[in-house]
Structure 1
Amino acid sequence: MKPAFALSLLATFSLISLASAQYPGAPSYPGATGGYGAMPPPAGSGLYGGTGYTAMSPTLPPPTMSSPYAGPTMMEPAAPAANYGFQQPVASNSWGGVQQSMNGSNMLNYRYLEASYRYVDPQGGDLDGSHGLGVTLSIDLPTIFFVKGSFNWSSGSGTKNVKGATNADYDLSVITIGGGAYMAITPKLHFVGEVGLVYANLSSAGNNISYTDGGIYIRPSLRYQMVDWLELQAGVTVSSANDYDSKVVDFGAYFRVFPQMDMNIGMDLGDENRTLRAGARLRW
């Protein structure tokens, strides 16, 4: 009986040892070699060892923050974009130039209101010089186009060589309506082409110096922002007018005095009139 009792006791201890290896210890790994109770698979081999299923593996590397498609964050204000050669496009017009700025930093603007004092000196006749005002409004359109209109008026005191000059006082009014487009040769140099209608009226007490004239005009010009506060302009206006100026060469300089306001001086040299002007321009 003693040997049988010893064998029974040995079997009991074996069962207890086997149970303690399974419960309540670590969980079993069905895919690990060695059956139940074997050691877990090594790190990097996935949750189920060599079964090929690794989707739930805790050893997968975390995603990096430097994704080329990620936007700026507090931890990484400027996400790198060099990996894929991507660069944020610069706003440009169809001519390849940088678009005009609307915040006042760029003087080469096509949305502005200009007012000026004008002294007009008629050439080749008996009229004295006249003093007046001029107003110009330009509105930009999508892409590179703009529309523009102006009204100039001046009043003279008489004639140079005619007696009774007080009876020959005159008024000169000129209206232009047109539009055009610009090409940005560089961000600070624009070539501008303009076309439109011109109407001029000279009324005087002396019928021999009065006229009403109209026609079509074209004006190519250049605008150059030399420095941050100075813009230079030069242009030639050719029209089909007969009595009024059929060709005018103009020069102008604009000086920035406020972020969106400039003072200007200029000169117009026509075949019928010479004009000196000074005023202000408001951009927005």
Structure 2
Amino acid sequence: MTSGRLYLVPTPLDFGVADSAAALPDLLPGETLAVASRLTHWIAENAKSARAFLKRVDAATGLAAPLQEQRIVELPRQAHKRGDHTQDDQATRDWLAPALQGHDIGLLSEAGMPAIADPGSSVVRAAHAMGLRVCPLVGPVSLMLALAGSGLNGQHFAFVGYVSQDAAERGKRLRELDTLATRSGQAQILIETPYRNAVLLRALIDALQPATRLAVASGLALPAQRIRSARVADWRRDPSLAADLPLDLPAVFLFGP
């Protein structure tokens, strides 16, 4: 029997944010939708989000099996923020066991590409160990959209993820990253939960050197999308740069020379 494949299925960046989400054919390529519509086995960051996405797939192209017959396994909560890229256990391989019986399996995050700034790396790692084919599908990746729109170094960059919520530790870490960016030319990419976006922006403006370029991309792929990129000195001098940023929406923060 031919083994199934693990498909990394990207989801729209509007998920969970827009009250009236656009139709999926306007947001995802046809091949991505075609694969998603025929899968019946899923590993997801969040089962509720996965079901909501599948409802949208059903409305766009139909599902191979009714929603109530879709098999959805939810990733452990502890993997959500710190990542699961070092995890390699029997439970992960058990989730992929249907692939050994010929079933293709989809990996989903709540928005964007799974296993990029989201959990799922352990599933990909296990698939490789089990000899399964891993197939990333085309779709949005917020970090890359933000980097492309920032004017920062798109040929040398690092994803830092989250920084400490403690003000002193956060400031120290931001200054360390600023020094690294200035010395190496490497753009630094950070994220935060939306209700702390404003706090992080303020910390960046206060901690970074005046000549450092700071960019914020918020509400990516939504009608409210805004991208601002300017020197820190300008952020300090001109409050209007941040005035209309939708910081209550998911955002990506970037800085460098």
TM-score tier after normalising by the smaller chain length:
under 0.3
Higher strand share: 1
Looking at secondary structure, tell me which structure has more helix per residue: 2
Provide the TM-score with structure 2 as the length reference: 0.26
For normalisation by structure 1, the TM-score amounts to 0.24
Larger CA Rg, structure 1 vs 2: 1
Relative contact order, CA 8 A, sep 6+: which one is greater?
Answer: 2
